[in-house]
Amino acid sequence: MSWTKKVLRINLTEGTCTPEPLNMEWAELYLGQRGLATKYLTEEVPPTTDPLSPENTMYMITGPLTGTMASTAGRYSVVTKSPLTGAVACSNSGGFFGNEMKCAGWDMVILEGKSPTPVYISINDDKAEILPADEIWGKSVWEADEWLHAKHQDPQLRIAAIGVSGEKGVLYSAIINDLHRAAGRSGVGTVMGSKNVKAIALRGSKGVTVNDPKAFFEATTAAKKVLAENAVTGEGLPALGTQVLMNVINEMGAQPTHNYKESVFAGASKISGEAMLEARDSDGKPNLTRNAGCFACTISCGRISTIDPQHFSVQNKEDLHPSYHGNSGGLEYEAAWALGSDTGVDDLDALTYAQFVCNEQGLDPISLGSTIAAAMELFEEGVITTEDTGGIELNFGNAEAMIKCTELVAKGEGFGLELGQGSARFCEKHGRPELSMTVRGQEFPAYDPRSIQGMGLGYATSNRGACHLRGYTVASEVLGIPIKTDPLETEGKAGLQIAFQNATAAFDSAGICIFTSFAWSLEDVAPQLDAACEGEWTVERLSEIGERVWNLERLYNDAAGLGGSADKLPPRMVSEAVTSGPAEGKVNGLDKMLPEYYAERGWSPEGDVTAETKARLGL
């Protein structure tokens, strides 16, 4: 407890579903979710494996707190070898799928091999079946969801599925659960598609048990109070969601604009969280309908929104799924910057539409927007023309073009298939690799690392490629959480990144949402785990687990050829200075931070994990 200690291993080549015990020795060292599945990956999938071959394996895994009454305890992760990066992939999602898996009695579902024909997996407590999915292959996530609910005659079924993009091999396809929650990054949906698996439909009735119910009740109640009394988790996130960041990041001059050429976007306030609350002209309603929460979440940062019925993206389009004319999930900040400021589009409804498409067809909006932005720069430079784009005038700021590209990638059609390879491959193909804003082949998130120095180090060293959810020093450098540091300063950022990276790896292995960390530290998490699980779970032990997980991921990447040599930023970030705003004249000082980072991690000057560090962490 609070692991179920059971794993469901599904071999798609053989067509078998076999229960096996969870490796508890590994659970002691890696806790669950991100850490534990990475341990399985490193033991079972050689680092040189082709990510889209049957030899790659996909792990859908919960954490020990998943399915309990701890706040935000609905999380699960998908761990595999990424087809976008070739590195370790770990994408975390909320909604209600993770807790359902746990309630069905499974800590983890493993998909290995490849089915000869399209299938979906049906899991109802102990009963697991591989069933034909021919009728939903070629359909969207939302259509598949409806079909599965109708077929099983069960409104409570929890479903994770891929869209057409994942079937067609778009390299940044996501797995979407509960209609609009995404295991979004690094192409985990593409791996699922390569195995011919359309969906996993779950139903669990067993409940989750904890080791010491009384202590657990006390610990979770105290921790929920911390969230409720914190201005960010108790007030800011429920009211404005992640989109509250748009204006602050723009005002401080870190808003990626026009494929990171600029760091201030004139249209930012029009696509911000604040703008989502304003009544529009056509029907007097705001974009935002309400907030929404994942399982057991007491924060509820999710957005449920509508598109202006008179907007060109939905007007006179009878064939669209009805959700486009009603309420659906979005707009989140990461989608808004990538599809918005990075492409120069300041049309809130166009962005909301594009986010809905990403949910319907299972796409990572960060990689999508960033790739479209890179293509726009190539178009404006004359490197590609309308002959390449299939007639699309791909200028910055063209909302119609952004939407057209989104639709083409979503369906894996024409020019969309080329964009679907991601910005690194796209720019490489057109002879301008330096215009791809990626690390390890994964597109940057929403923060210009020239204006927020620590994030440059974070992107360069992130084990799953450029990412904000591996070490979110924005919290400290911009938002003053837990303490304010100077975003333009490189000194001290190595230690700051390491602290964030290790703590995040521990949170990500526990079954809770990383947004709790705006209010919680490991001091708040440890008592909850200690009451839920057997054994002693202290802050020190969790910190060590975080560090161990980080190093394990790094060792895997090293062996895949993506270690120290890949700790690089695109030339624009280290040699082209910011042109306006508070960070004007700045480049990222990665060269100053990286040696210090390696030393503080206990790695060699080349960035290799040393024998001493391995021994210290039991690796």
Residues that bind ligand SF4 (CB under 6 A): 72, 94, 293-294, 297, 299-302, 513, 515
Residue 574 interaction partner, one of another protein, ligand SF4, none, beta carbon < 5-8 Å per kind: none
- Phi/psi of residue 251, each to 5°? -65, -35
Q: Least distance in Å: CB of 145 to another protein? A: 26
Burial of 201 (0-12, 13-18, 19+ CB in 10 A): buried
Question: Which lies closer to ligand SF4 via its Cβ, residue 99 or residue 421?
Answer: 99
DSSP per residue over 390-439, as a string? TS----TT-HHHHHHHHHHHHHT-THHHHHTT-HHHHHHHTT-GGG--EE
Question: Which lies closer to another protein via its Cβ, residue 514 or residue 619?
Answer: 514
Question: Which lies closer to another protein via its Cβ, residue 276 or residue 374?
Answer: 276
How far, CA to CA in Å, does 589 sit from each of 263, 598, 608? 17, 15, 21
Q: Least distance in Å: CB of 97 to ligand SF4? A: 12
Listed in sequence order, the DSSP H helices in 323-398 are: 333-336, 348-361, 365-380, 386-389
Q: Which of 36, 244, 331, 354 binds another protein (CB under 8 A)?
A: 244
CA nearest neighbour of 340 among 369, 362, 316? 369
Axis crossing angle, helix 522-532 with helix 213-229, rounded to the nearest 10? 160
Q: Least distance in Å: CB of 237 to another protein? A: 7
Contact flags string 497-516 toward another protein, x per CB under 8 A: -----------------xx-
Strand, helix or coil for residue 310:
coil
Question: Which lies closer to another protein via its Cβ, residue 107 or residue 477?
Answer: 477
Kindly indicate which of the ranges 189-197, 391-399, 467-475, 521-529 contains the residues binding another protein, using the contact rule CB under 8 A: 467-475
Q: Which of 253, 256, 454, 456 binds another protein (CB under 8 A)?
A: 253
As a whole number of angstroms, the distance between CA 39 and CA 17 comes to 21
Question: Which lies closer to another protein via its Cβ, residue 69 or residue 514?
Answer: 514
Residue 333 interaction partner, one of another protein, ligand SF4, none, beta carbon < 5-8 Å per kind: another protein
Q: What is the H or E stretch that residue 81 is in?
A: strand 76-81
Residue 518 interaction partner, one of another protein, ligand SF4, none, beta carbon < 5-8 Å per kind: another protein
- 515 with 237: CB under 8 angstroms? yes
Residue 294 interaction partner, one of another protein, ligand SF4, none, beta carbon < 5-8 Å per kind: ligand SF4
Q: Least distance in Å: CB of 262 to another protein? A: 14
Kindly indicate which of the ranges 9-17, 78-86, 225-233, 433-441 contains the residues binding another protein, using the contact rule CB under 8 A: 225-233
Question: Which lies closer to ligand SF4 via its Cβ, residue 294 or residue 478?
Answer: 294
Q: Least distance in Å: CB of 515 to another protein? A: 7
- 134 with 120: CB under 8 angstroms? no
Number of residues that bind another protein (CB under 8 A): 42
Tokens matching residue 357 = 């498409």
Q: Which sign does the torsion angle of CA 259, 445, 95, 126 carry? A: positive
Residue 245 interaction partner, one of another protein, ligand SF4, none, beta carbon < 5-8 Å per kind: another protein
Residue 94 interaction partner, one of ligand SF4, another protein, none, beta carbon < 5-8 Å per kind: ligand SF4
Label each residue of 515-544 as H, E or C.
Answer: HHHHCCCHHHHHHHHHHHCCCCCCHHHHHH
Reported residue count of the chain is 619
Q: Least distance in Å: CB of 442 to ligand SF4? A: 21
Strand, helix or coil for residue 200:
strand
As a whole number of angstroms, the distance between CA 583 and CA 579 comes to 8
Q: Least distance in Å: CB of 347 to another protein? A: 16
DSSP state of 315: T
Residue 252 touching another protein (CB under 8 A): yes
Q: In the chain, what's the furthest Cα-to-Cα distance? A: 67
DSSP state of 473: T
Q: Least distance in Å: CB of 232 to another protein? A: 5
**Cβ atoms within 10 A of the Cβ of 98, count?**
32
Residue 444 touching another protein (CB under 8 A): no
Residue 484 interaction partner, one of another protein, ligand SF4, none, beta carbon < 5-8 Å per kind: another protein
Q: Which of 245, 338, 409, 457 binds another protein (CB under 8 A)?
A: 245
As a whole number of angstroms, the distance between CA 112 and CA 194 comes to 11
Q: Which of 235, 434, 523, 600 binds another protein (CB under 8 A)?
A: 235
Question: Which lies closer to ligand SF4 via its Cβ, residue 23 or residue 291?
Answer: 291
As a whole number of angstroms, the distance between CA 478 and CA 499 comes to 16
Q: Least distance in Å: CB of 306 to another protein? A: 21
Strand, helix or coil for residue 599:
helix
Q: Least distance in Å: CB of 483 to another protein? A: 11
Residue type for position 328: S
Question: Which lies closer to another protein via its Cβ, residue 284 or residue 382?
Answer: 284
Q: Which of 107, 334, 377, 418 binds another protein (CB under 8 A)?
A: 334
Residue 240 touching another protein (CB under 8 A): yes
Task: Say which residue the tokens 């020795």 belong to.
Answer: 25
Axis crossing angle, helix 522-532 with helix 539-559, rounded to the nearest 10? 100
Residue 472 interaction partner, one of ligand SF4, another protein, none, beta carbon < 5-8 Å per kind: another protein
Interface residues with another protein (CB under 8 A)? 230-232, 235-237, 239-245, 247-248, 251-253, 269, 272-274, 301, 333-334, 468-469, 472, 474-475, 478-481, 484, 486-487, 514-515, 518, 581-582
